[in-house]
Copies of this chain bind each other. A is one copy, B any other.
Amino acid sequence: MIIHMAKDATPEQENALLKRVEARGFEYQIIHGSTGIDVIGVLGDLSGVEESYFAECDGVDKVIRISKPYKMVSREFAHDSKTLVKGTKVVKVGETVIGGRELTIMAGPCSLESSEQVMSIAEYVAGMGVPIMRGGAYKPRTSPYSFQGMGLRGLELLAQVREHYGLKIVTEATGLHRHMCEDGNLERNNVLENVISYADIIQVGARNMKSYGFLQELGILTKQSKTPILLKRGDSSTLKDFLLAAEYIVANGNPNVMLCLRGIRTFEDDRFQRFTPDIGAIAVLKQESNLPVIFDPSHSTGYRSRVRAASLAAVAAGADGLLIETHNNPAEAMCDGEQCVTHDELARIKAQAEKIRSLVYDE
C-alpha cells in the first residue's frame, strides 16, 4: 500500500498515521519527495486491509493498493497443488474435469417449464455428448409480475433427468427466497436449501454476486460437500469485485468455484446489444486467478443469431467452458426465448468450439 500525504499535512498527522500502520503490525518506508510531500510505503501482507483504513486519517491525500485484495483465488496461490492443470485449479463433476484440456459444454433451457420440455431437451443434449444440463427452477425476475419459476417441482424434474440420461445438473440458488407456488403458498424450505439438496453444480446468479451474506452462507453450507459453485459476474461488477466474491466462498470453506462471465452493462444502446459480451475479461481472469473460466454466450449477447460467434470467440480467448441456452421450441419459451439456440445450432457450435479449443490450448 502506498500512502500519499496531503500538501498541507502536519508532522503530527503523519505521526498519527505511522502509529496506525505500526498498530497493525506493518513496516513502512518513507520517501521524502522533492516537492515536500511525503510518500509512505506500507510493507507486509495487506490482503485483509482496505485502502480506507489509511485514507480516512487526517493529512492523507490518497492511498493506492499495490498488492491484491484477494488471496486464495489468485493465480499465485496454491501453485504446487496437484489439482492444477497449466495453472488452473480444475473442478471435477462426476467424470467431467472442468478447467483442463477438454472444453466443457453445459446446455439447457433458461427456465424449466414442464416435464415434456425438460425431457425433450435432455434427450438431445445428452445425445450429442454434452455432460451437464442447465435449467432454472427458481428465476430471479426484474418484475414482480413475471413468471418466477417452477420451484421444487422443477428440481424434481432435474433429478429425473440425471437418473434417465446420466446428465449432471447445474441450477441457480437465490437468497432468502421462499418460493411462492402457483397456488399462492410458500415452499417450506428456502431456495438455497432446496438447491443444495438437488444440484451437482450450484449457480449463483449475477444479481446475487454482491449479496455477501448469501455467499458466506453458501460457503459454510457446502463446506463439507464441496459441491462446485458456478459464480456469475454481476453485470456491472469490476473484475476485482468478482474475484473478491469468489474469495468469499473459498474463504468460507468451499474451494470449488468456477467463474462465469455473462456480459456487462455499458453505455451501449440495448436496441443493438442487450449486454456487452465481456470476452476480453477471460484473459484477465486467467492471468489473475487460478479458477476455471466459463462463458455464457446466451445472456451476454441476448440474441440467438449471435450465440455462435460469441461462443467461438470465448473459446479462442481461452474459456474453459460454455454455458449455452437451448430450447426444443424457442418461440414458446417462457423466459429469454430469443436467446435460445436450437438443437442443430448447438451441435454446430459444439463441433466448431472443440476444434478451436484444441487449436489454441497447446500453443
> Which of A's residues lie within 8 Å of B, judged by CB?
2, 4, 7, 16, 27, 29, 31, 33-35, 39, 41, 43-45, 47-50, 52, 55-58, 62, 64, 66-67, 69-70, 76, 138, 140-146, 174-178, 180, 190-192, 207-208, 210-214, 216-217, 234-236, 238-241, 244, 247-248, 251-252, 263-273, 276-284, 287-288, 300-301, 305-306, 309-310, 312-318, 330-331, 333, 335-338, 340, 348, 352, 355-356, 359-360, 363
Can you name 23 A-B residue pairings with CB atoms under 8 Å? A2-B64, A29-B31, A35-B45, A39-B66, A52-B335, A56-B330, A64-B64, A144-B212, A144-B216, A174-B211, A176-B213, A177-B212, A178-B217, A208-B210, A234-B236, A238-B267, A238-B272, A269-B270, A273-B281, A280-B310, A309-B316, A352-B360, A355-B359
Q: Are B140 and A213 in contact (CB under 8 A)?
A: yes
Q: Are B269 and A213 in contact (CB under 8 A)?
A: no
Q: Are B240 and A272 in contact (CB under 8 A)?
A: yes
Copies of this chain in its oligomeric complex: 4
A238-B268, A276-B264, A316-B313 known; A2-B39 Cβ under 8 A: yes
Which of A174, A266, A283, A313 has the most chain B CB atoms inside 10 A of its CB?
A313
Measured CA separation A52–B303 after assembly (Å): 11
Closest to A180 in B: B216
Q: Are A27 and B16 in contact (CB under 8 A)?
A: no
Closest to A219 in B: B144
Which residues of B are found within 8 Å of A284, using beta-carbon distances? 272-273, 306
Q: Are A266 and B276 in contact (CB under 8 A)?
A: yes
Q: Are B317 and A312 in contact (CB under 8 A)?
A: yes
Which of A192, A214, A300 has the most chain B CB atoms inside 10 A of its CB?
A214
Which residues of B are found within 8 Å of A279, using beta-carbon distances? 277, 279-280, 313, 317
Closest to A51 in B: B338
Q: Are B214 and A331 in contact (CB under 8 A)?
A: no
Q: Are A312 and B360 in contact (CB under 8 A)?
A: yes
